[in-house]
Structure 1
Amino acid sequence: MVDGNELTSFPHGILKLNLKKILFENNFTNPIFWKENSMNDPQHLTQIAALFFLKNNLHKYYNVIPEEIQKLLKW
């Protein structure tokens, strides 16, 4: 059980615990903790790869880049 006032994060060691559930009481986790610290929309691998491709100027090493890939790069 976690009891406190304003919880904005947990210590990293909590990830190593074998927990089935955590009980929250007398705190403000709902509006603060979950909105700030949970990302439910991770980047797609294509977005990450396109960013890496552009940031490292890899387009200079290719004579032809397919149109489908150019759309992903947005350069």
Structure 2
Amino acid sequence: MHAGRTETSLMLHLRPESVRLDRAEPGNVAPLAELWPAMREGGVRVVSANGVLGDPTGASAIEGRQILQELIDGALQRL
């Protein structure tokens, strides 16, 4: 969701100098469907004190490269 494993992995692949893994910590890991009503009213801050939705633990540039390739492949198939 936001600053979780997927987004962190993508950023580690695309722009690793922008990622501070030393500060990575889990946030709210509840499903988005459960969080969405509160987020619509008050934003991420009302559901996650640290601003993270998900868990960046285990994120890697290798995983980010794989995710990006899957996104590209999916987009090309749809075109």
Q: Same fold (TM over 0.5)?
A: no
TM-score where L is the length of structure 1:
0.22
Is the helix fraction higher in 1 or 2?
2
Bigger relative contact order, structure 1 or 2 (CA pairs below 8 A, ≥6 apart): 2
Q: Which has the higher strand share?
A: 1
Give TM-score, length-normalised by structure 2.
0.21
